[in-house]
Structure 1
Amino acid sequence: MKKGFYRVAKKYKWVFLSVSLPLILLFLTILGFSLFYRNRIFPGVYVVGIKASGMTTDELQTALIKAVVFPEKLVVFAKEKSFDLSLHEIGFGYDYDKTVKSAYSLYRSENFLLNFLYNLQSPFQKREVNLVINIDEEKLNEYLQVVSSQVAVEPIYPNVVYQEARVVVNKGVAGEDIDPKAIKKKLENKLSRRDYSRVELPLKNIDPTISDDEAGRLQERAEKLIGKTLNLSYEYTNIVLKEDDLFKLLDPHKSYNGENILEFTNKEVALKVNREPQNAVFQFENGKVIEFTPAKNGITVNTQLFKDQLIEKLTFLETSEEKTSTLNVPVQTAPPSITTEQVNNLGIKELLGSGVSTFRGSIPGRVFNIGHAASKLNGVLVPPGETLSFNSAVGEVSTLTGYKQAYIIKDGMTVLGDGGGVCQVSTTLFRAALNAGLPIEERRAHSYRVAYYEQNSAPGLDATVYAPTTDLKIKNDTPGHILVQTIFKPEEVTLIFEIYGTSDGRVATITKPVITSVSAPPEDLYIDDPTLPIGQIKQIDYKAWGAKVVFDYEVDRNGETIYEKKFVSNFRPWQAKFLRGTGPTN
């Protein structure tokens, strides 16, 4: 029995040894391998062709710095045009530290089992690591913009124009340009492999063209906007969009073009509407305010809300029969640090009302006179209970007081006379007083309808003056002084009056003027003039339709009417007059 037992034991001993010894040797080999490569790069790792196996990170970094040399510039080309790309100017360089860390991280894992398996794989594989590069993208883009300006073909985007009373749709033309993203990727790929050969710049096709069906739908939409206008308004700023302006906002693929709306908002609307907060300034001297700046909130167009409301108005015009629509530009405000009330003790606190008129088509002398007369009223203070007389405030109107010759109505005719255009000023002040809710003690309409006063207003809202017989008088029945301010904008052919004071809660209402008794102008009158050569015609007066215009003016405070008046204007029909030459020709 014992001999049999020992024979079996001896047999299993050799089995055990034959199995365990190889395992022990394998374990010792792996352990030695792991210990050796603990701080070294594993076998089979190459960095741009440089064998990194067995190196420490410091050794590899030193080797790379010695081995890698790159040129000062690369040659890039597109469309048979070559350009030098200075690597220094685009901030190019190799990041050896990150490159070494990338090589060192191969076959390593925080998971023990995975780390063991990765270690076993390394002697039997070859892994190539590229260099990590740094490029200043902003400088590269600047360089590419220069290249683009010489090789790009600008696309023509689809557009709609209004030509010779018809809608014309241009379907667009394709273009091409260099592809910055593809170029950056290509540069990184070549430079990371130490490839400094010529680089062909990838081009991308830019094709904004639309199909015949899309062009047809776009034309149909544009035709619905013919003869329509959209008025954008904020305070005294008014922007009128007509056919060509509206067409630009249409999008051939969707409802409206968001990019074009944003560009229009920033370049047109915000440029005219936005302003910084304005602190108040008030300087009083010799019974007149010689310097006044009212406090005003800072204004910024609410871009998103404006876009939404603009699209609503465009949709309304496109889908309705209405010919015009108005959008009050939505804004965000920021208060000033010094208010109007803080800079005076006369009760000049806030804007009570304003009036606006325009004078397109005025001759230079008339434009000058408007500004000159308006300056006489700028800064005028009216105490509580007192009446402002236009004629007294403006003073004598003649060439002796600086006025120029311009057309006036005199003795039933339109003739050149001193101070033509002063009635534009009285008309604008009249409108401001109405909007401020002030009593009008004296006002007279013109003899006939004058086109200047109906450019931005209904007829009947004018006021003529002619010293000493015809005046415009406005009473200050507010609790404080009122201050008159004028804003003369000859470049915009606009005059604005603002009246400041203390609000007592009054609200002015002006009914829509009612036009009746319309009568046609008389036949044109031709007057022989021997001072003109025969055959020459010179118009000296212009026709106007006669009419009776009536509107009611009411001022309420706390539910009670404190002032009311009916304004009646009887405009005569006006005859066009021409001088007809009968004299000898030169």
Structure 2
Amino acid sequence: MQEVTVADDEQVQATQPDGTRRRRHLAWFGGAGVLAVAAIGYVGACYHYKDTIAGGTTVAGRSIGGMTMEQASRQVSGLPGPGAQQQATVTADGQKFAFEPSSAWKPDVARTLDGVTGFSLSPARLIHHISGDGGAATPRYTVDEAALARLVKGSAGTSIKGAPTQGKVKFINGEVVVVEGAPGKSVDEKAVAKDVAEHWPGTTAYTTKLVDKQADATQDAVTAFAAGDAKKAMSEPLQVKANGETVTMKPSDVSEVISSDTDAHGKPSIKVDADALLAHVLERSTDMQNDIATDAKVVWKDGKPSVQPGKAGQQIDASKVQSVVAAALTGNHVANLPMKPMQPQVTEKDIDVSSLPTTSMAHFESKLPGGAENAARTHNIETALATLNGMVVRPGEQFSLLRALGYSLTKEKGYVEAGTLQGGIHVDGMGGGVSQVSTVLYNTAFFAGVQLDEHTPHDVYIDRYPMGREATLWNPGVDNTWTNDTGHLILIKAGTSGNKVVMDFYGTRQYDVSTKTGPKTDVVQPKQRTVKNVKGCENSVGNGTPGFQVDVWRTLKKGSNVVRTDKIHTKYQPDDIITCVGSS
């Protein structure tokens, strides 16, 4: 009978005459087993990370680490083109013009993200996942030369002396005005676009020749358009219908959101500014956006978290506005805007309450104005905070404050009228005060180090907010958005404590954040102003506030390395001393 023991060195030994050989055999077998287990563990680890991008991976300075391919695709698709905010200058026979080409380049998401996920036995890939140091992926782009040519043509047309005058129709205060065209000299926009496409952004200065050019549309075509479709468009009010509600636009309103455009065959047609039209309509509607999707969120009962389900909804299909409205203006003047399904960004399955983040990555507070005169304002703030509290933002998702609050701040949602600032005038408005929530959200995102996408400062400086670091909100058109580029879920906790608005982002911080505020420059003193017949207008209290400009810098660091410095420039108008006349 063999006696088997386990020695201190974990080798299997047998007490028999040829024990040495047996010992080696079993040692080899044991070692192979350890190697096999290690190999299985290694393969398992590689498989575990196959659908996730290594932590710390960036593209053009934007973090995509920890994201799925779907999340990273959204992040990459929003990258600016190469040489963003740089200008190309073109010299043509001694004349110069400039334009920004980068918008003609679009990210090639598939090529940019090729190889960043998927099953791989590469040790380097596994090390990047474990260490959180994924490195930088190279952004790839495709260029639209036709779009580039349009940029060249538009800039040349307004800068080159003697360029062709484009015959077109203008819509002014509900009237049709014909602008006659004439030939001239300009650049060959296609040739310039080809040159820029090949050499941008390495080359920023280009030269070419002026050539004879005709106007895009003949005068006969412009005249016929003016007497036909353009006249028809201004002939009666436009009814815009969506989600069971109708908003009527007078011809003078319609003329603010349309223009004439000429196609490649020289035929003029109506061009609709979809964003401007929707802004006009939604500002006057109550029900067009009352059926939007809501996200799942975290709620607490007796201190225990649970998930409140989200729900699907619908929204106006903005991509169809041009065709639908243009057809209505040349037809029966009824534009039925189609709706499209709207899904929650966050569903129940996205929230695992057992693994919610418990560490605050950013905290911000803002003092509430006290007193009975601010009670309505405080009520609106608490209503908005209750909506935001418990919201979850997935990795790679963009957070929109307007969307989170359901776009409209209505009585049905619990809001009341309170003081707002509109065009430099203090008037009551539904949901007044919610801009303080927007400011707190902006600052929490600012110090969380996440990607800041869009915000709009107040027109005038309000001294209870950080100078150059605040954000207003208005539906439609003035939003506050940021993207969760941490690679991990972010949980928002929001509420009031005593006389303060307080907010935390719970998640995994990517960077250390520091900030610096520059001095006030270009100071403009307030002046006396009389405002007539503005409903709810409030007389100024005090001596007004000067306008000025200021710069704020946000620096993101990893250890001792500066990853990025963002510069935010804010221009405040003076808060004039207003005297209201004829207001009610």
Q: TM-score, normalised to structure 2's length?
A: 0.38
Q: Higher helix share goes to which structure?
A: 1
Determine which structure has more spread, i.e. the larger CA radius of gyration: 1
Under a length normalisation based on structure 1, what TM-score does the superposition of the two structures give? Answer: 0.38
- Greater relative contact order, per chain length (Cα 8 Å cut-off, separation 6+): 2
